[in-house]
Chain A
Amino acid sequence: MAERYELKQKEVWDGNMAAAHALRQAQVDVVAAYPITPSTPIVQNYAQFLADGYVDGEFIMVESEHSAMSACVGAAAAGGRVATATSSQGYALMVEVLYQASGMRLPIVMTVVNRALASPLNIHGDHSDLYLGRDAGWIHIIANNPQEAYDLTLCAFRIGEDERVRLPVTTNQDGFLVSHTAQVVEPLQDEEAYKFIGEYKALNPMLDTKNPVTYGAQTEEEWHFEHKANQHKALMESFPVIEEVFNEFEKVSGRKYNVVETYKLDDADIALVLMGSAYETAMLAVDKAREEGIKVGLLMPRVFRPFPYNEVAEKLKNVKAIAALDRSAPMGTTGALYNEVAGALAAKGQSAIMTNYIYGLGGRDTTVEHILEVIRETEKNAKAGKRVTDLQGFINLRGPKLSFN
């Protein structure tokens, strides 16, 4: 029986330590991992917890991330609670198996520390890996600080394992900006956290030999479409469960998460939409802009997949201009978040003026002052009643100004 870990009411943890403690408290049956910067300390801390007697489950060191996710699929199909961690190139190597995991409806939890994708090689934070996994059929939840990385990892188990969902879930935190930044975290005590997550309920476990089942069967044109449509339906219909879990979490922690987060949006004329640690930096920019008389608010999809397009549109219905900020190279079009928000507005017949900004690639610093510039440009569009700034701009990019229209 795992030992109880003594936790203070307030700990000073970085995002990696926070995620590792959440995995420990979930009493995962199997963690299979291949450590990679900047998520290495999640795996390292977890292995330490195991060595020190705080974890009962198995920890498997494998030879690659492809194997890590494959081992996770095997263990989850066998009927265990399963988790792993990765970043960037490791995430990329997993992609094939990410689709297998979701197609087999295995509620694996993966704590992702977001990092740029090579080439050029870069170990720092951006959302390239998150965007790479966008269509893999996983639920993707975004954490902006170590507290959220902890809280949302606990929630991830309960969301993914719910019988109405049964899908794998990633929690995402920005490499270094969250993963290696120590802040005050108020954890739940072990028994409280475990009670919140609950016992793992195996569904069609392969180790139940009296009821043999097949995972990963072949389906061609007769049934493949139905399986995929069913999987999509599960994602689309997971919102009420996610909200339910967030409400339950508020009861035990006092901290409330929402599928769509907003900041000072109620009376706003303009809005910025962004995800990750920069959302919090942007709060400070909003406060400053409001001192200048600019009524600006923020919106963040806490859940990137499934994408809450109806709620996003509803919350943005009164703003005149919107800037969507993407922390990933858009490679040939407007950024993914811009496209999601534009699609959400179009579906409701809303016509706020929209622009797109690319920022923070490979860990490039994004300051309050940078975000204030975006707010001021967005304000110009709102005042003019039409787009007078570039469709796509780049924040804190060296060299001559780059923009696209």
Chain B
Amino acid sequence: MLQIRWHSRAGQGAVTGAKALADVMARTGKYVQAYSVYGAEKRGAPMTAYDKIDDKPILDHSKWMTPDYVLVIDPSLVFQEEIVDNTTDDTIFIVTSHMDKEDLLSVAKHLQGKKVYVVDAIKISQEEIGRAIPNTPMLGAFMKVSGIIPFEDFLVSIEDILSKFPKKIIEGNLRAIKRAYEEVK
């Protein structure tokens, strides 16, 4: 089973991102679970969202997991040590930051020795979508790093999932996804 944990602030779209990823993977015949953990707090509070992806139905309804991937879509949460909780040496971190990896690791010491990829999902979403909603660019970065499905297939599915939105929003999201796919490193 593939396990993914998102770190986000309420309102940044981690729940939507986790559900979209689950939807994409379900279209390839996988079984999925997407959920989130938050209290009654308002926008801006730190929260986590989760994806589980497997070849058989997912029965485990506990929130606990040892993530294969940790996706951090808020640049300030990169500095919270909670993002390494329950991870292993093999866990891959994809974090959003305007800093390059070397500068980031010199201050975010808990990430030293970890497998870390950096993408500036905030800047990308601001420039391409017009709002700081870093969830879809993070999915683009995740597709590049994980190679879980062919990128073209992902684009077809995500465009369909976004189809309820106006054309301008869909196009912005697709540009953001493609840019993050290219820029993550």
Chain A residues packing against B (C-beta within 8 Å): 10, 12, 14, 37, 121, 123, 144-145, 174, 176-178, 180-184, 277-278, 280-281, 283-284, 365-368
Contacts and interface: CB of A to CB of B under 8 A. Distances in A.
A184 B35 contact: no
B61 A368 contact: no
A181 B60 contact: no
A123 B39 CA distance: 7
Contacts of A368: 60, 62
B158 to A, nearest CB: 13
Interface stretch (B18-26, B73-81, B94-102, B133-141): B18-26
Interface of B: 18-19, 22-23, 26, 31-37, 39-40, 57-64
Contact of A181 (B35, B40, B57, B64): B35
Contact of A37 (B31, B40, B63): B40
A278 B61 contact: yes
A12 B64 contact: no
Contact of B62 (A10, A144, A281): A281
Given A12-B23, A123-B39, A181 B62 contact: no
B34 A284 contact: no
A281 B62 CA distance: 7
Given A181-B35, A182-B34, A184-B26, A280 B62 contact: no
A133 to B, nearest CB: 22
Nearest to B34: A182
B40 A281 contact: no
Contacts of B18: 182
B40 A123 contact: yes
Given A183-B31, A365-B64, A12 B19 contact: yes
Contact of A366 (B22, B36, B62): B62
Contact of A176 (B22, B26, B35, B60): B35
B26 A12 contact: yes
A313 to B, nearest CB: 27
Contacts of A177: 35, 61
Contacts of B57: 184
A182 B19 contact: yes
A365 B63 contact: yes
A389 B178 CA distance: 58
Contact of B59 (A12, A180, A284): A284
Nearest to B23: A12
13 contacts: A121-B40, A123-B39, A145-B61, A174-B61, A181-B33, A182-B34, A183-B33, A183-B34, A277-B61, A281-B59, A281-B62, A365-B63, A367-B60
Nearest to A176: B35
Nearest to A145: B61
Given A183-B31, A183-B32, A184-B31, A178 B22 contact: no
A367 B59 CA distance: 11
B82 to A, nearest CB: 15
Contacts of B34: 12, 181-183
Given A10-B26, A123-B40, A184-B26, A281 B61 contact: yes
Given A181-B61, A184-B32, 16 more contacts: A176-B35, A177-B35, A181-B33, A182-B18, A182-B33, A182-B35, A183-B31, A183-B34, A183-B58, A184-B31, A184-B57, A277-B61, A278-B61, A366-B62, A367-B62, A368-B62
B62 A365 contact: yes
B154 to A, nearest CB: 15
Contact of B64 (A123, A176, A284, A367): A367
Nearest to B40: A123
The 6 closest A-B pairs by CB, nearest first: A277-B61, A181-B35, A280-B59, A367-B62, A182-B34, A12-B23
A180 B61 contact: no
Contacts of B39: 123
Contacts of B31: 183-184
Contacts of A180: 35-36
Nearest to A174: B61
A145 B60 CA distance: 10
Instruction: Give the one of A123, A145, A181, A366 with max B CB within 10 A.
Output: A181
A283 B59 contact: yes
Contacts of A144: 61
Instruction: Give the one of B18, B31, B32, B33 with max A CB within 10 A.
Output: B33
A354 to B, nearest CB: 25
Nearest to A8: B27
A260 B23 CA distance: 32
Contacts of B60: 280-281, 284, 367-368
A283 B62 CA distance: 12
